[in-house]
Chains A and B, each alone.
Chain A
Amino acid sequence: MKARFEELFARLRRSGADYADIRWVETRRESVKIRNGEVIGIGGGFDRGFGIRVIVDGCWGFAATDEGESGLERTASAAVESAKAAALTRRAAVRLAEAEPVTGNWSSHFSIDPFDVPLETKIALLLDSTERMRTDDRIVSAEGELSIYRQEKIFASSEGSYVEQSTTECGGGISAVAVSGEETHRRSYPSGYGGNQANRGWEFILEQDFSGSAVRIRDEALALLTAPKAPAGFHDLIVGASQLALQIHESCGHPTELDRIFGTELSLAGGSFLDPGMLGKFRYGSDRVTIAADATVPGGIGTFGYDDEGTPARRTVLVDRGILTGFLTSRETAEKIGQRSGGTMRAESWNHLPLIRMVNVNLDPGEDSFENLVLDTRKGILVETNKAWSIDDVRLNFQFGCEIAWEIENGRIGRILKSPVYTGITPQFWGRCDAISNRDAWTLWGVPNCGKGDPMQVVRVAHGASPARFHGVEMQ
């Protein structure tokens, strides 16, 4: 395919392209979903195609086709035509930060290929765990799901890069919905909305041990039916690791995307409260808070060898002991702030233009154990598992609802509280972080449904976190 791409780049140069890249992407998926003892969804998906990106007359153009190699030249012409149309409104020519051409292969690691595991095994695993939750009439829905994903892609650029990559992921989870009168409560394991996902093989599913957690999840859902409401007011809040993953996602990951900061997402996803002038000066959180974008962490679904501009995976510290030190960047946006790309350009598939996306954006662990964090809390509330999320268009004012909370009194976890909702302003909230649990409680959480762009692209990202405490947080 390399020779075919080189021919295409030569043709594109003759058409006026100063730069061009092409991605060939093939994606395979498989999923199984169980509800109340029935397989309500089982199936697979497979698609492939080409996406071609060019710079002509100082503007980007992009076109994609699933026709196959026979459609390449026509698609290349469409990309050139799109760029020329964009040039009608050009205000400044696109410039890319310098990058050395790369050649390489990269594959994610797995021990057991999840596509090789028989469907019957997958169904049996979900049936076993969900049946354990169906022992009380108030459990109206017991669900389990597995999803498996493999993406193979080739990236080539007119600058001489040629990269082949293969990523295999799998994940899943279980949940129980308990209903009594007007009360409806869901508990999920290991996290909500499809469970946890990893850049690993079937061994990851086995480690999750759904069946071992099913009874606890059922009992918590039932307990929520009669639990008191988590109290409104200002409380010391311990945010559990999977909820903290979403907090990082919404209030640290998205605001540090440099395309968003430069306004190109204003019409849809919104902007950011940050600007490049804050780099190295702005206090994002307390001294305890260090957050890095790291596409090299083994097992994360934001892990890869090269991004979709061919930039090798790397680690960029976004917040260093509370101070803003970095952004998520592309070659185009990095050039505007005098840097090289941080390697965070990602496209959902062949038909999407790469955008700046999160990779694995992780909160560094603290030094003390989770047990000591609780022991050290005289009065507070522990919240876990995201239920609802909302944040404003510049990523300042947020509100999160969780599935469950526990009262903490004199260093001990006490009774269950229902419907916890907390709210805050991003830098104020992170500024209230006064303790983070250590690496023993640190988990990498896959978020496979990060939406951005138009057409909407759903990209797979991850966040490493351990439970952390925030002083005086407003609960509603």
Chain B
Amino acid sequence: MHIFHLMKINFTKILTIIVLSSLLGLVYNYINPSGLKFTSNVKELRWATDSVLISSNKLKDTLKLHPPLNQLSGTKISPDKKNVKVDKYPNATNTKVKKNESEDTGFGEPLLINLEQAYKLYQMDMLFIDARDGADYNEGHIKKSLSLPYHEFDNYKTVITKIPKSQTIIVYCGGDDCELSKALANRLFFLGYHNIYVFSGGWGQWKSAGYPTE
């Protein structure tokens, strides 16, 4: 207060400006259809048990039924096509995928998985999606993972639609306390991708474990 007095700054004016503009912001947010809600938009997720992860034949089934990932054309989401397995699913057809979609109800919500579980899915050649910004992805990412920055989700919508709904997807971001992967998983889940896991440890844990990166 003393410094304000010395500098001849009116503290009441400062308070008025802050309160009025904040109120304006609150009112605008209230009437704005895409305004923010005070409850977190990232819901808490449950952990996947190993039995869900491993014993489920669904994984193997969906694996067989997936079309080649190189059909996910659109260069933005496929930064390194060389590493995408192309001829692993030669018999995949759209009809089969469609059939699988109708049968597949998924887990009911995205599930969290730990490092071991993530690695098992990696060995099964599941689709890993990196939710971080492009710059972070370029610095390093899980081998064969695709970049889908959560902040640019809308730019990728046309490409996302090329991923079959039955695809098992593992989403990750920086590490334990980053929300991007959960937020992205929820958005993908909302779009109908129901076989979706969130690798909680993310890039940090994967890298520390010395698992394949690029």
Judge: A and B partners, yes or no: no
